[in-house]
Structure 1
Amino acid sequence: MKPAILAASLLLLNQQISATAQETPGPAALIDALNGTFGKHAGKRASHAKGFCASGDFTPARDAAKFANSPLFSQSKVDAAIRFSIGGGNPGVSDKSRSVRGLSMRLTGGNETYDLLLISEPVFFAATPASFVSFLEARVPDPATKKPDPAKLAAHNTKYPDGKNQPALLAAHAAPASYAATPYFSTNAFVFEGTGGARQHARIVVEPAAGTRYLTEEEEKTMPDNFLEAELTQRLAAKPVEFTIYAQLPAPADSLIDSSQPWQGNGRIALGTLRVNTLAAQSCDGIVFMPVTLPAAISPSADPILAARAPAYAISLGRRSQ
Structure 2
Amino acid sequence: MHPSTPSPAELVDALNNTFGKHPGKRASHAKGFCASGEFIPAESAAVLVDSPLFKAGRLTAIVRFSIGGGNPGVSDKSRSTRGLAIRLQGATEKYDLVLLSEPVFFAATPESFVSFLAARVADPVTKKPDPAKLAAHNAAFPDGMRQPALLASHAAPASYASTPYFSNNAFVFTNADGRQATARIVVEPAAGTRYLSADQERDLPDNFLQEELAARLANGPASFTVYAQLPAENDSLLDSSQPWQGAGRVALGELRVTALAGAELCDGLEFVPIILPRGIAPSDDPILASRAAAYAVSLARRKAA
Q: Shorter-chain-normalised TM-score: which range?
A: over 0.9
**Residue 287 (1) aligns with residue 260 (2):** no
Displacement of 1:65 in angstroms is 2.4
Instruction: State the TM-score, normalized to the length of structure 1.
Output: 0.93
**1:318 maps to which of 296, 300, 304:** 300
Structure 2, unaligned runs of 5 or more = none
How far did residue 64 of structure 1 move?
A: 1.0
Which position in structure 1 is the counterpart of 2:87?
106
State the TM-score, normalized to the length of structure 2: 0.98
Cα distance between partner residues in 2 of 1:258 and 1:277: 34
The answer to whether the aligner puts 1:146 opposite 2:119 as a matched pair is no
Pair 1:305 & 2:258 matched: no
Q: In the alignment, what sits opposite 2:34?
A: 53
Residue in 1 that maps onto 2:116: 135
Output the amino acid matched with 1:314.
A
2:270 counterpart of 1:270:
no
- The alignment of Structure 1 onto Structure 2 pairs a total of residues equal to 303
Letter in structure 1 aligned against 2:269 = I
Distance 1:165 1:66 in 2: 32
Write the deviation string for residues 223-269 of structure 1: whole angstroms up to 9, x where unpaired. Answer: 00000000000000000000000000000100000000000000000
Could you tell me the percent identity over the aligned residues? 68
Q: Unpaired runs of 5+ in structure 1?
A: 1-16
Distance 2:205 2:262 in 1: 23
Question: Which residue of the partner structure matches residue 6 of structure 1?
Answer: none
1:4 matched to which residue of 2?
none
2:149 and 2:18 mapped to 1: Cα distance?
20
CA RMSD of aligned residues (A): 0.9
Larger Rg: 1
Q: 1:11 is matched with which residue? A: none
Of 283-292 and 303-312, more deviation after overlay is shown by: 283-292
In 2, the alpha carbon distance for the partners of 1:310 and 1:85 equals 18
CA distance in 2, matches of 1:227, 1:92: 13
Distance 2:239 2:48 in 1: 23
> Given residue 21 of structure 1, which amino acid in structure 2 is its aligned partner?
P
**Residue type of the partner of 1:216?**
S
Is the 2:186–2:227 contact (alpha carbons within 8 Å) kept by the matching residues of 1?
yes
Q: Which residue of 2 aligns with 1:5?
A: none
Q: Could you tell which deviates more after superposition, 104-113 or 180-189?
A: 104-113
Quick check: 2:6–2:110 contact (8 Å CA) kept in 1?
yes
The 2-side partners of 1:288 and 1:282 are apart by 13
Distance 1:26 1:301 in 2: 20
Q: CA deviation at 1:110?
A: 3.8
Match of 2:198 in 1: 217
